[in-house]
Amino acid sequence: MIDLESVAVITGAGGTLGRAAAVSLSSAHTLVLLDVNEDAALATLAELPESSREHRAWSGDLASELPVREAFALAESIGPVKALVNAAGNTTGGSLHNLGFDEWNATMGSCLTTVFLCTQAAVRSMMRSGGGVICTLGSPHADRAVPGYPAYSAAKAGVAALTRHVAAEYGQFGIRSNIVTPGWTRAPHTESRLSPTDRQGLLDSTPVGRLNDPHDVAAAIAFLCSSEASQITGAELRVDGGADALTPSSLLRPQQRIKLGLLP
């Protein structure tokens, strides 16, 4: 028998990965779909497969305390929060010497503060209800510099640290916390930044020879949120077709590799 009251909260649910995660989790949980973009959250709600569950969409800025409190009050009014997927976050760039304080704060807000506030609310709720699982979207930028993205890198490194912390301190309450780190994944905001040359460079540095679709990432999230992963916490699961396994020189584009004598 399925537990109709087990609630999963998904942040950034109107975005590409939040939406894919929602579809993957919709049969196991009643979903509360959160996004600052109301139309996008409602579009995800409309895309979910038909079921007897009454999924909800809710909009608000999750980088602020009050909206997060309201969102989790809504979730807890449905049932115990058993899963949180932190998929909110804008990938914003700007080199350090030109980066405005407002831009820094905006990136920290959407990528790190949303994770802090929603994880805190979920941990409090899960401590009351006997445990749960948190899955947060990380980024390869957390431990490798990509010129032009200092704030995003710093925010994602913070997310990784927070994830490990939750695993270490709240495992005793039955709470697990993991990171899924996608490589480049098809999304409107990633496609629009990719030239054909860049795409070829990414393919050359991806051993399996294809780039991620959102459902590749959603499958990893669904696994980590399931009881099959009950012994996995504080972990990072890379979904990148093997890109991270390559040495840095392999990440250079073919023209650069030819110049360096690494390719004929």
* Site track for ligand NAD across 168-207, x = CB under 6 A: --------------x-xx-x-xx-----------------
CB of 101 to ligand NAD, least distance (A): 17
d(CA 176, CA 118) in angstroms, rounded, equals 15
Helices (H), the chain: 16-25, 38-47, 65-78, 101-107, 114-129, 150-170, 188-191, 196-204, 214-225, 254-259
Query: Is 152 an annotated catalytic residue?
Result: yes
Interacting stretch for ligand NAD, rule CB under 6 A, among 47-55, 83-91, 163-171, 225-233?
83-91
Taking CB under 6 A as the criterion, which residues in 48-67 touch ligand NAD?
A: 61-63
Token pair of 190 as six digits: 């990633």
Q: How many residues does the chain have?
A: 264
Contact characters 86-105, ligand NAD, x per CB under 6 A: -xxxxx--------------
CB 146 within 8 A of CB 139: no
Judged by CB under 6 A, the number of residues near ligand NAD is 30
- The DSSP code for 87 is -
CB of 258 to ligand NAD, least distance (A): 28
| Residue list 107-166, contact with ligand NAD (CB under 6 A) | 109-111, 114, 137, 139
Angle formed by the axes of helices 114-129 and 150-170, nearest 10°: 10
Query: Residue of minimal CB distance from ligand NAD?
Result: 15
Closest separation between CB of residue 95 and ligand NAD, Å?
19
Q: How far is CA 34 from the centre of its chain?
A: 13
**According to CB under 6 A, which one of 17, 108, 134, 175 is a site residue for ligand NAD?**
17
Among positions 9, 10, 15, 224, the unique one binding ligand NAD when judged by CB under 6 A: 15
Query: Does 36 sit near ligand NAD (CB under 6 A)?
Result: yes
Angle between helices 16-25 and 38-47 (to 10 degrees): 30
Q: Does 241 bind ligand NAD (CB under 6 A)?
A: no
Report the largest interatomic distance among the alpha carbons of the chain, rounded to a whole angstrom: 64
**Annotated catalytic residue, options 58, 72, 149, 152:** 152
Side by side, the strands of the sheet bearing 30-35 are 56-59, 30-35, 7-11, 81-86, 132-137, 175-182, 236-239
Cβ neighbours of residue 51 closer than 8 Å, sequence gap 6 or more: 26, 27
Q: Tally Cβ neighbours within 10 Å of residue 17.
A: 25
- Closest distance between ligand NAD and the C-beta of residue 44, in Å? 9
> Shortest Cβ distance from residue 72 to ligand NAD (Å)?
13
Q: Is 22 in the site for ligand NAD (CB under 6 A)?
A: no
Beta-carbon neighbour count of residue 85 at 10 Å?
33
Judged by the rule CB under 6 A, the positions of this chain that interact with ligand NAD are 12, 14-18, 35-37, 40, 61-63, 87-91, 109-111, 114, 137, 139, 182, 184-185, 187, 189-190
Residues identified as active-site: 152
